[in-house]
Amino acid sequence: MIPAGLLSFGTFGAPAPDSALAGLAEALACAIPDEYASLLRQADGFLLENGTKLYAAAEAAERNATFEVATYAPGYIAVGDDSGGNAFLLGTAGNDTTLYAVGMGVMDTRYMHALAPSLAVWLQDELASQGKG
């Protein structure tokens, strides 16, 4: 799922073990979206040169607790951020694979906007934007 070309534009974690994914699901008390779990199995989080970050499993548990995502954006989990005050969220139920962004200071579904129709599309978009930088 991670485009090969994107690997040269940041730091990527080692693949997450199944125990890390199980721990994240337990900490968040919800199923982890398939695309996010698949990505974590490839790299347990990453930080791109432009500041874009996808949370490692342990970090996702902490960030979701800190920003009280379950309280203010129920049905979503924070999976990353832009290092500029915006969190990236995925839905935890249904078939919505859209990746959303919302300000960390207003963690509210009313203020979310779609970044991409899926995590995979977003990663391709990130690769394209890195190449233009």
pLDDT in tens, 94-124: 888 999 999 999 999 999 999 999 999 998 8
Minimal CA–CA distance to 22: which of 34, 11, 31? 31
Nearest residue to 43 (alpha-carbon basis) of 30, 31, 54: 54
The domain in which residue 113 lies consists of 4-132
Beta bridge partners of 91: 76
The total domain count for the chain is: 1
> Averaged over 70-94, what is the pLDDT?
95
Give the CA distances from residue 52 to residues 46, 61, 126, in Å, rounded to whole numbers and listed in that order.
8, 18, 9
Cα 94 from chain centre: 17
pTM of the model: 0.92
- Residue 132's pLDDT is 52
CATH classification at residue 52? 3.40.1580.10
Q: Token digits for 76?
A: 């979503």
Give 133's pLDDT tier (boundaries 50, 70, 90): very low
Residue with the bigger pLDDT between 7 and 113: it is 113
pLDDT tens across 29-51, in order?
999 999 999 999 999 999 998 89
The answer to whether 90 and 110 are in contact (CB under 8 A) is: no
- Segment (H or E) for 121: helix 119-132
**131 vs 90 pLDDT, higher one:** 90
Question: Is pLDDT at 77 greater than 50 in this prediction?
Answer: yes
